[in-house]
Structure 1
C-alpha cells in the first residue's frame, strides 16, 4: 500500500505525462475491446446446434475448387437421404415470399419465412415450446411459428391449431411454436411452411436443372465428408442433374461453422458475414493496440531527461538494477491497469451505441472462459509492451552517465517506434480514404436503368386477377407516367435454370451437354424495360402489338456471350421446351449488387398476366406529388383488393439497402481511424512538449544569438516532419496491397488513384504539424531571459 501511494504521488507530479498516457492507452483499449467483441460474436455463429460438427451445406465446385453453384435442385435431398448410408438426414430450404398473414383483426406482412422439409427440426437445435414441428411440416396445411410471431397474432391465446389466412386465400393451422431463433444462427425465420406447399404452388423451378434450394445434410458421427461428397456427386449425376454430366463439377460439403462467414456464397437464408472483415478489424485492433502502447512507451522514454537525476541518485545510494527496474515496471503497470479497468467500464456503456452503428445486436459474456482469457492476454500483452523497455532503459544506464545527460544520446529504438507509430496512422488513413472512395463509386455508379421516383408493390390477394382493370384506373392519374410488371424486384431472382437451349448452325445447343449453360429467367411485361430506361445493344423491345412476342425472348449481353452468338437477334431459343426467337439484346445492366458480376439473363412475357402475376412486382413511375399519388394508388388497391393491406417500396431505397453493410463497415473504419489518429496526436503533443522543455536553454541561446521564430519552429518541427515522411514511404506500398485485396470483394470497383495516398500523407503531415506547432510556438516565443533562467 505504501509503494502504491508513492507511485500515485509520482504519477501526479507528472500530470501532463500521466494524463496523455492514460487517455491514449484507454482510448486504444476501448477500441480493441469493441472490435474484439464484434469478432467474438461473428465467430460464434451456429455453435448452439447439438449436431454442429456433423451438419454441412451442399454446394457445387469445379476442379479448381472454385464455387460453381451455391444452390441445389429440388429432387436432390430426398434421394441422397434414401440412397447414401452416411447421410442421416437431408433437408431443403427456400425463402418464402413476403406473404400477408391474417388472424381475426391482426394482419401483417411477413418478410422472414421459409419453406422446408420436416427434417429441419431434427437436424437443427431450435427449441420447441408447443406442439411437434416435425409433424407440422408433414402436413400440407401446417405451419411452424416462432414465439414472437405467436405474440403478434394471438397475444395470450393458445396458438395451437389456430388457423391463419395467407394472402386472403388459403388457411394454414399452427401445429408448433418454437422459441425465437438465436441471433447467432445463419438461418433466420419467423415461420416455416411445408415443402409440400411450395411444390403445390410451384413458386420456382423444381426440376434437376433448377438449383433454387439450399440443401443441408447431417452425416452420421465420424463420417468422412470427402467420401460423402463423392457419393452425393455420383447419385446426383446418375439421377440426371445436368450440371454434373461433364465430370468437372462436383458436390462440396461446406461445414456449418463456415457458412455464415463465407462471403463467396450468399446463403439467402439470413445475414451473410465475411471472414475478411475479421482479418481487417482484427488487424485494426492489433494496430491500434500497438499504436497506443508505442505511444505510451515513447512518452515514458521521452520523460527520461526529467527523471534521470532521481534515478542516478537512487543508484548512487545503492539501489540495484533490479530495484530500479521493478520500481519503473510497477509505476507503469499501475497506470496500465487503471487504463485497462477504465476502458473495460467504458466499453460496457458504449457497447449499445456501437451495436446500433453496426446494425447488429450481440451479447458478450464477460464471465465466460473464452472472453476472460482474451482479456487476460490483452492485459499481459499491454503490460509487457508498456513496461519492459522503459524499465530496461532506465535501469540499464550507469549512474555517471545519468548525471552527464545520458538522455541526449539518440535512441534508435525510440526513433523506430515513433516512425512505426506514424506508419500505423498513415496506413489507417489511406485505408479509410480508399474505402470511402469505393463506397462513393458504388453509391453513384450508373446502374444502366432508372430507380428514381419508381415505386413498386407486390400483387397479393386476388388483385392480380383484376390487373387489366387496375392498370386502366392507374393510367387515369396524370402523375403516373408508366406502369410495368415483373415477377420480382430487379435485385432479386425467382428462378435460375439450365433448361434453356438455342439453335446454332442448324442444331440445338445446351441439350444433353456435359457443360450446360445456366441463366436467370424472369417474366416481364412489354412496358418494363422501357419504363426502367434499359438500353438495347441490338434488336427491339417486346410489343403487345406483336402476338408472337409471348413466345419470344430478350437476353442481356452476358447471355449472348455465353451462348457464343455474335448476332443473337433472330436466333431460335427455348426455355423449358417453349420455343421462340430472340428479338432483342439489352446492355449488361447492374440489376444486382456490384459485389457480383452481371448474371446471364433471359426475359420473357407473361402469357396470361391475370393468372401468372400472383406476387409479381407492379411498378409505377411517378412524375410529381409522390405522397398524393401513392394515396391514389392505395385507394384503387383497397377498392379492388379488400382485406389485403397496401404496402409499397421505393426502388432507389432498396438499392441503398444493398450496400448498407458496406457503408456500415466504412463508417466503423472511419471512426477507428479517427481515434487512432487522435491517439497518435496525443503522443506527438506529449513528445513536442517534452522536446521543447528539454531544449529550452538551447532555444534561449539561439534567440540571443539572432535566431528568429521561423528558425526555431523549423528546428523543433524538423524531426516530426521527417518521421511522418519516412512513415508515409513505408505505409504506402502496404496500404496499396491491402486495399487491392479488399477491392477484390467487388466485381466492379474504383481505381486506387495516386491522390488517395497523397491526400492521406498530406493529412497525416498536417495533423502532426498542427499538433506539435502549439508547443513549438510556445517555446519559440518565450522570452530568452526566462529560457536561460529556466531550470
Structure 2
C-alpha cells in the first residue's frame, strides 16, 4: 500500500511528464486496438464457411493478367466433361437492378444469378422454402431483411418480382442475411437459367464473359491435373487451333485480400499490402509513444535518484525498488489502457465510416484482450526494466546530496539520443511515406484518361426488345435540350469493365495472327462526345458498319507498323472489319492495372447513353433528362450516374487508405513532438545553472538558443540520414504493385526532413526561449 501511495504521489508530482505519457500512450494504444480489430476483420472473410479451404475460384490467365469471369455456357461444358468439377456453382453479380414489386418500383442492391449449389457451397441458411429453392428458371429467393421491408406483414414466399419490368420471378424462399465477412452478401438470388430467356446470346455465347465459377475440390485431388483438363476443354470450346488457354485456381479464403491483381473483378475486395501497411504504421505509432515513455523516465532519472537513494539508505532491496517501479508503471499504463478502450470505442463508428467496414467493438473479443495484454506487457516490462537497470546503479550518498538537480550521466544521454533519433526517424519516414502515397494516389485520380470526364452523365438503357428503338428516340429528344451538348451510346461506360472478350484474326507478312481483344461497341459520334484523341486515322460514321477503331494497346499487341486499312476478323460476332483509326487508350477501370486492348464498332443495341452537358446547373439538367425519359419510357426507372463519380468509385480503397494513413501519421508526429517537448523541458531544466552563468558572463539570447537547440538539430540530421534510404526502399517496393507509377522526386525526401526539423525546432524553441530570457539570478539564487 505504501508503494501504491508513493507511486501515485510521484505521478502527480511529475504532472507534465505524466500528462505527456498519458496522452501519447492512450492515443497510440487506441490506434493499435482499432487496427487490430481492422486486421481481424480483413482476415476473417469466409472463416464461417468450414469448406472455405477446399473451395476455389477459377481464373483465366491471359497475358499475365488474372481474369475471374467466364462465359455462362462454359460452366456446363466443364462440369459435363470433368467429373472432379461436379461440386461447383456459377455466380453472376450485379451491383443493383430494377424490379417491380406489387406495382411499385424497387432498386435492389447486390443481385446475383446462380444455381442451387450456391446455397451449399457458401453456407447460405434458408429460412423459408426448401433446400433447393431455385427449382425452375423463374425462381428467386430474397434475404430476410429485404423480405421484411417489402412484405412486412405477410410471407414473401409466392410473391412476384418483375425483373426489369419484363420477366416475372416467383419468390420460392427467404434466406438469412449473409455475415459481413463474406465475399457475397446478396439481397436477391435468381436462377442463372433465366438468362436463356432474358439474354440468350449471353447465355449461349463463348465470347460473353460475365460469371465467376467456384468449385469444391477435395484436398487429395490433383488440382494441376484438373487445370490441364480445363485448358483442354477451353481450347475446344473456343475453337482455338494453336493457342491453349491458361487457367489457375484461387482459394476462396484468398479472394478478399489477395485479388488486387485480378482484372474485371465484381467482388468488393481489399489488399493485403494495405493491411500490412496499417499494421506497420500502428506499430510505429506505438513505438513512438513507448520511446517517449522511456526517454522521459531516463531524463527524469536525476529527480528519481533522490527517492531511490533514500530507499536504499532505508534498506530497500532490488525487489522493493522493482515493486515500486512496477506499481508506478502499472498505474500509468493501466490508466492509459482504460482511456484507450474508451477512445477506441468512441472512434469506431467514424473508423467504420472512413474505411467502409462493419467492425463491432465486443468486450468478449479474444483478439481485443490479446492485443491489450501484449501492449500492456510491452509498455510495462520494457520501461520498468530500463528504469530498474538505471536505479540499481544509483549511489545513495551522491543522489541525496544532489537533491535531484544533477543531469543524467553520459551513458543515459546516449540512451536518450538513440531513442530520440529513432523516434524522429520514424516521424520522417511517415511524412515521406504519406507524401509519396498521396502523390501516387493523386496520379491515379488525375492522370489523363484518354477522354474528358467533366460534365459527362450516363443513363442506363435496359436490355430488352425495346433497346434499339428506345436508344434512337431518347437520343433524338435529348438533342433538343439546350443543356445537352451531345449524346452518344456504348456498351460499357468508363468506370465499368469491358466484360465481353474475343479475338482479332489478321494477316501479317503472310502469317495468320490471333490477338485477344475486348469489345467496346459504340455509336459513330462516341469519340467526338468523349473528346478522344486519334493517334492515326479517323472515326467510323454512324452508318459505317464495316469499319472499326482500335485503341493504342490493341495496336501495340498486334505489332503492325500501320494498322489503317488492315482487315480483321472479330471472333465475338464473326464479322470482318477494316480498321479506320487508332485512339489513345480510354481507361475504363483502375489505373492500378494497365489498359486492355479494345475494338470499337457500330452495334444496333447500345446499353448506355453518354451525355455531355453544358457547365452550369447540373441538377436542373438532370431533372430535364429525367423528364424526357419519363415521357419516352415510363415503365423503366431513370438510372443515371456521373462518369467522374464512377471512376472515383474505383479508387474508394485508395482514397480511404490515403485518409487513414494521413491521420495516423499526423497522430504519430504529434506524439513524437509531445515527447520532444517533455524531453527538452527536462534537459533545459538540468542546464539552468549553466545558462545563468553564461548570461552573467555576457552570452546573448541568440547564442543560448543556438546552444540549446544544437543537440536537437543534430538528432534530426542523423535521423534524416537513417530515414531516407529506408523510406526509399519501402516506397519503391510498394509502387511495384501499380501499372502507372509516380516518381520518387528528391523534394519528397527533403520535405520530410525540413518539415520534421521545423516542427522539432518549433516544439523545442519555446522551452529554449523561456530559459534564455529568464533572469539569471533565479537560476543562481541557491548556488
Tell me, yes or no, if the aligned pair for 2:195 and 2:203 is still in contact at 8 Å.
Answer: no
SS in 1 for 2:70: coil
1:640 aligned to 2:635?
no
Q: TM-score, normalised by structure 2?
A: 0.94
Query: CA shift at 1:95, angstroms?
Result: 2.1
Residues 53-78 of structure 1: CA deviation (Å, up to 9, x unaligned): 21111124489xx5443333434433
CA distance in 1 between counterparts of 2:678 and 2:587 reads 51
The match for 1:785 is: 777
- The 3 A distance-change label for structure 1 pair 625 and 209 is closer
- The 3 A distance-change label for structure 1 pair 61 and 388 is farther
SS in 2 for 1:523: coil
The match for 1:92 is: 90
Query: CA shift at 1:371, angstroms?
Result: 3.6
1:687 aligned to 2:679?
yes
SS in 2 for 1:185: coil
Q: Which of 434, 442, 445 is 1:443 aligned to?
A: 445
The match for 1:488 is: 492
RMSD, matched Cα? 2.4
Greater shift in the superposed pair: 368-377 or 767-776: 368-377
The match for 1:566 is: 561
The match for 1:514 is: none
Tell me, yes or no, if the aligned pair for 1:486 and 1:524 is still in contact at 8 Å.
Answer: yes
SS in 2 for 1:602: strand
- The 3 A distance-change label for structure 1 pair 245 and 279 is farther
Greater shift in the superposed pair: 624-633 or 37-46: 624-633
Tell me, yes or no, if the aligned pair for 1:321 and 1:396 is still in contact at 8 Å.
Answer: no
Tell me, yes or no, if the aligned pair for 1:133 and 1:176 is still in contact at 8 Å.
Answer: no
Give the number of equivalent residue pairs.
772
Q: Which of 205, 212, 215 is 2:213 aligned to?
A: 215
- The 3 A distance-change label for structure 1 pair 642 and 76 is closer
SS in 2 for 1:183: coil
How does 1:248-267 map onto structure 2 within 5 Å?
A: 250-262=246-258, 263-266=260-263
Residues 378-407 of structure 1: CA deviation (Å, up to 9, x unaligned): 222222233221222112334356457572
How does 1:737-748 map onto structure 2 within 5 Å?
A: 737-748=729-740
Query: CA shift at 1:126, angstroms?
Result: 1.5
Residues 739-759 of structure 1: CA deviation (Å, up to 9, x unaligned): 222222322122111111111
SS in 2 for 1:339: helix
Residues 582-637 of structure 1: CA deviation (Å, up to 9, x unaligned): 1111122323221111110111101x3xxx23x43343433544333322222221
Q: Which of 118, 129, 132 is 1:131 aligned to?
A: 129
1:323 aligned to 2:320?
yes
CA distance in 2 between counterparts of 1:585 and 1:507 reads 22
- The 3 A distance-change label for structure 1 pair 744 and 221 is closer
CA distance in 2 between counterparts of 1:29 and 1:215 reads 43
Query: CA shift at 1:224, angstroms?
Result: 4.8
Residues 689-732 of structure 1: CA deviation (Å, up to 9, x unaligned): 11111111111111111111111111111111111111111011
Query: CA shift at 1:131, angstroms?
Result: 1.3
The match for 1:723 is: 715
SS in 2 for 1:534: coil
1:191 aligned to 2:183?
no
The match for 1:28 is: 28
Tell me, yes or no, if the aligned pair for 1:463 and 1:641 is still in contact at 8 Å.
Answer: no
Greater shift in the superposed pair: 698-707 or 486-495: 486-495
Query: CA shift at 1:463, angstroms?
Result: 6.2
CA distance in 1 between counterparts of 2:477 and 2:61 reads 50
The match for 2:537 is: 539
The match for 1:504 is: 508
1:385 aligned to 2:382?
yes
CA distance in 2 between counterparts of 1:497 and 1:591 reads 14
- The 3 A distance-change label for structure 1 pair 601 and 567 is same
Residues 458-500 of structure 1: CA deviation (Å, up to 9, x unaligned): 0137464233232222222222110101112122234332343
Greater shift in the superposed pair: 590-599 or 209-218: 209-218
Q: Which of 115, 127, 137 is 2:113 aligned to?
A: 115
Tell me, yes or no, if the aligned pair for 2:46 and 2:52 is still in contact at 8 Å.
Answer: yes
The match for 1:38 is: 38
Q: Which of 412, 415, 419 is 1:413 aligned to?
A: 415
How does 1:119-268 map onto structure 2 within 5 Å?
A: 119-132=117-130, 134-136=132-134, 138-200=135-197, 201-202=199-200, 204=202, 206-208=204-206, 211-220=209-218, 222-237=220-235, 239-241=236-238, 246=243, 250-262=246-258, 263-266=260-263, 268=265
CA distance in 2 between counterparts of 1:684 and 1:337 reads 23
Tell me, yes or no, if the aligned pair for 1:242 and 1:498 is still in contact at 8 Å.
Answer: no
Structure 2 stretches of 5 or more lacking a match? none
Tell me, yes or no, if the aligned pair for 2:498 and 2:588 is still in contact at 8 Å.
Answer: no
CA distance in 2 between counterparts of 1:202 and 1:315 reads 91
Tell me, yes or no, if the aligned pair for 1:244 and 1:250 is still in contact at 8 Å.
Answer: no
How does 1:260-339 map onto structure 2 within 5 Å?
A: 260-262=256-258, 263-266=260-263, 268-339=265-336
Query: CA shift at 1:112, angstroms?
Result: 2.1
CA distance in 2 between counterparts of 1:497 and 1:770 reads 60
Q: Which of 444, 469, 472 is 2:473 aligned to?
A: 469
Query: CA shift at 1:85, angstroms?
Result: 4.4
Tell me, yes or no, if the aligned pair for 2:456 and 2:643 is still in contact at 8 Å.
Answer: yes
1:732 aligned to 2:724?
yes
Tell me, yes or no, if the aligned pair for 1:131 and 1:160 is still in contact at 8 Å.
Answer: yes
Tell me, yes or no, if the aligned pair for 2:177 and 2:185 is still in contact at 8 Å.
Answer: no
CA distance in 1 between counterparts of 2:76 and 2:136 reads 17
Residues 395-445 of structure 1: CA deviation (Å, up to 9, x unaligned): 233435645757232432321111111111111111111122222223322
CA distance in 2 between counterparts of 1:464 and 1:246 reads 36
SS in 2 for 1:344: helix
CA distance in 1 between counterparts of 2:152 and 2:133 reads 24
Query: CA shift at 1:246, angstroms?
Result: 4.7
Tell me, yes or no, if the aligned pair for 1:233 and 1:244 is still in contact at 8 Å.
Answer: no
Query: CA shift at 1:97, angstroms?
Result: 7.2
CA distance in 2 between counterparts of 1:643 and 1:47 reads 43
1:758 aligned to 2:750?
yes
CA distance in 2 between counterparts of 1:243 and 1:762 reads 61
CA distance in 2 between counterparts of 1:205 and 1:568 reads 33
Q: TM-score, normalised by structure 1?
A: 0.93
Residues 488-516 of structure 1: CA deviation (Å, up to 9, x unaligned): 21222343323431233355422xxxxxx
- The 3 A distance-change label for structure 1 pair 628 and 286 is closer
Greater shift in the superposed pair: 114-123 or 699-708: 114-123
SS in 2 for 1:503: strand
Query: CA shift at 1:666, angstroms?
Result: 0.7
Query: CA shift at 1:218, angstroms?
Result: 0.6
Greater shift in the superposed pair: 366-375 or 168-177: 366-375
The match for 1:513 is: none
Query: CA shift at 1:207, angstroms?
Result: 4.3
1:361 aligned to 2:362?
no
The match for 2:552 is: 557
Query: CA shift at 1:333, angstroms?
Result: 2.2
Query: CA shift at 1:32, angstroms?
Result: 0.8
CA distance in 2 between counterparts of 1:244 and 1:154 reads 55
Query: CA shift at 1:47, angstroms?
Result: 0.9
Q: Which of 558, 583, 587 is 1:586 aligned to?
A: 583
Structure 1 stretches of 5 or more lacking a match? 511-516
